[in-house]
Structure 1
């Protein structure tokens, strides 16, 4: 199965803000630049996170994208839309000590996200384009490599991502 993962354009959010499942818009020029730069296979189904920063791009790629909430970015609970430097150091340290199971801001753990990504992946029945987030891309890559959810979460949590906005990754 060939998957083409596409990261959304840069959202409209101030630098240094924690965001995950918050539904953020994208500047129209960013959307246009990303869409114009993409070179994707024709005639593949397009799946997308329902969050605007993905959904707007998916709507450009297909007349009928399939939106799936399981592709949304991780939910950071009370940390959502807070400046990273305003989040108590003890809470960040607790997350760093258990990146797989800890629920930042009492939101979602990386393991919980890995489980929903695994459920989505299990329903795919062929090649596809998937418009999603850096976290989902990392977990989909781990799942495509055959890892189980706990191992997916551990792999995704071990290193900071280097996935640019608007980039693609083919699996």
Structure 2
């Protein structure tokens, strides 16, 4: 079984804005970026699971294959911080969260640990279907959570993994064993 973890293409949002589950549009170069993503996939996909947010769903719909929108593949919820400038979030609250983001949630948001629990739950369901080639179109947080699960990495250590917009990470599952073919292919 081959699993392609695909990060959405470039979102249309100013730098310095906190966003996670906000449903934002894509830039004007979406079609070009989508074509580039298609070129990164080694073989035709049998099925795609996608975050329902536009920045993922639009890319999922660009493939000629069935797509299942799955809310558990959404990015981290930043709660009250969604769509605020990072510089406008009180520095003391931001510092406290940054020191404990694995277990602590932003106000009315979720922790990285909770994100991992929901993402791993759907990931296990996806691999139980044992399709030959599956795409998962999602966000950097869920991709890191899946890699944390597959590689047995601590959540904190996953931020050393670079996950670019429009990148592909390939995992193979053979006889119950995972191998990482590549991470962040662009």
Q: Same fold (TM over 0.5)?
A: yes
Provide the residue aligned with 2:125 in structure 1: 123
CA distance in 1 between partners of 2:115 and 2:4 (Å)? 20
Provide the residue aligned with 1:133 in structure 2: 139
Question: Residues 95 and 37 (structure 1 numbering): CA distance in 2 closer, same or farther, change over 3 Å?
Answer: same
Q: Kindly indicate which of the two structures has a greater share of residues assigned to helix.
A: 1
Cα distance per residue 1:87-123 (max 9 Å; x no partner): 0111111112212111113301101100001110110
Return the offset for 1:33.
Answer: 1.1
Contact 2:46 2:65 in 1 (8 A): no
CA distance in 2 between partners of 1:12 and 1:65 (Å)? 23
Contact 1:35 1:60 in 2 (8 A): yes
Secondary structure of the 2:155 match is: helix
Provide the residue aligned with 1:163 in structure 2: 163
Contact 1:114 1:152 in 2 (8 A): no
CA distance in 2 between partners of 1:9 and 1:137 (Å)? 14
Contact 1:134 1:161 in 2 (8 A): no
Provide the residue aligned with 2:78 in structure 1: 76
Return the offset for 1:152.
Answer: 4.8
Task: Could you tell me which runs of 5 or more consecutive residues in structure 1 were left unpaired when the two chains were aligned.
Answer: none
Provide the residue aligned with 2:24 in structure 1: 24
Contact 1:19 1:81 in 2 (8 A): yes
Provide the residue aligned with 1:103 in structure 2: 105
Task: Could you tell me which runs of 5 or more consecutive residues in structure 2 were left unpaired when the two chains were aligned.
Answer: 172-186
CA distance in 1 between partners of 2:65 and 2:45 (Å)? 11
| TM-score after normalising by structure 2 | 0.82
Question: Residues 46 and 76 (structure 1 numbering): CA distance in 2 closer, same or farther, change over 3 Å?
Answer: same
CA distance in 2 between partners of 1:144 and 1:93 (Å)? 29
User: What RMSD, in angstroms, separates the aligned Cα atoms of the two structures?
Assistant: 1.6
Return the offset for 1:74.
Answer: 0.4
